Homo-oligomer: A and B are copies of this chain.
Amino acid sequence: MVQFYSKRGSNIMSEPERIRVGIAGVASYPGVQLVRLLLSHPQVELVYLGDRQHHGRRISELYPDLHGYFTNKLMTKLKPVEAELMGQACQFVFLAEAHGNAWTLAPVLLKSGCKVIDLSADYRFGKLDLYKAWYRDVLSSPRTDQTAMQQAVYGLPELYRDRLQISNLVGCPGCYPTAGLLAIAPLFKHGLVVPESTIIDAKCGLSEGGIQPKKRLLFAEADQSVAAYAVSRHRATPEIEQVCNELAGHHIAIQFVPHRVPTVRGLLTTVYATLRDPGLVRDDLLTIYQVFYRASKWVKVLPNGTYPQTKWTTGTNFCHIGIETDQRSGRVMVISALDNLLKGQAGQAIQCMNIMMGWDEMVGLPKMGLYP
């Protein structure tokens, strides 16, 4: 078998700046997505691929197309998820496991001097009570990581870039809060809309549901069907509200309804909100959004009259945003699209790493899709 990335082995000497990176939960969709992206990230070297369920197996048994990408044979065999071992081997660790695991690993990793990015919900909330209210089912014992929790930064770079630059622990948002918040942040930040009028209607592909086999995720069940789920009680709600509260300066209840649509990747959110000043038109808002996201290379505000299609973002780390106003109703509609496994998950985590390490925010991330 040809070795595609022979540089991996030999380059460590000549490029001393590569940092040693580990991943926990490699077999999951976010985990393997991180592997795929990081294999071609010029600043990192993958040194620890951990997976609780599959350790001891080769990664190419789980994902046969990955056969041949590792020169280092030791890397191809998955290791157990043990914080001590990971802390010794790595300078940077991504946790891509189910909710409720990260808080038992992160304190140990931080103590070893690792920087940590968690893709589960464990470090997304500022207040333990809020986490417990929505994730009680994943907590088998009381959390004992208060210190870690308090220093965690919410991994949405477009809003928290400054904090991310100096953080060692990041709780990355899922795809729904990312798409929803990027769509409404400028409105809330500038007080342009009546907060409680905000409705987020989200449509997401099936990879959002993960790789664990469930009846509702089967092709025969999910194809040719569209449905809402968790109406008015989805776990993304408190995450979105927490940020909105901070942007607006007071408590806000957001209406969030997710829908399942038969695509593999792709998340579209349609946000509806009533403008405080009904005189604002599309052009005004486009300008406001362009200014708001001027420094955010991964957000594209689309030109006048163009609404995003999820497919334009597939395979990239971009979030596309389109805006429309309706003079008759006094509402603004903001539509955002992104790839739920990239900007909505693994891509955003790497974007956060880039910022935490002081690198260019775009390095190692795909900029262009291969439409169609």
Contact = CB atoms under 8 A, between A and B. Distances in A.
A222 B224 contact: no
A300 B60 CA distance: 13
A102 interface: no
Interface in A300-319: 300, 302-303, 306-315
Most chain B CB inside 10 Å of its own CB: which residue of A215, A225, A322, A326: A225
B264 A270 contact: no
A265 B329 contact: no
Contacts of A199: 199, 272
B335 A69 contact: no
A23 to B, nearest CB: 16
A13 interface: no
Contacts of A176: none
Contact of A306 (B64, B268, B307): B64
A215 B213 contact: yes
A213 B225 CA distance: 18
Contacts of A263: 223-226, 261-262
A203 interface: yes
A207 B312 contact: no
Nearest to A237: B328
A160 interface: no
Nearest to A295: B2
26 contacts: A4-B367, A33-B370, A36-B369, A64-B302, A65-B320, A67-B303, A69-B368, A203-B203, A207-B372, A213-B215, A213-B217, A218-B218, A224-B311, A225-B310, A226-B263, A226-B266, A226-B337, A227-B268, A229-B307, A231-B326, A232-B324, A261-B261, A272-B272, A315-B315, A341-B370, A366-B370
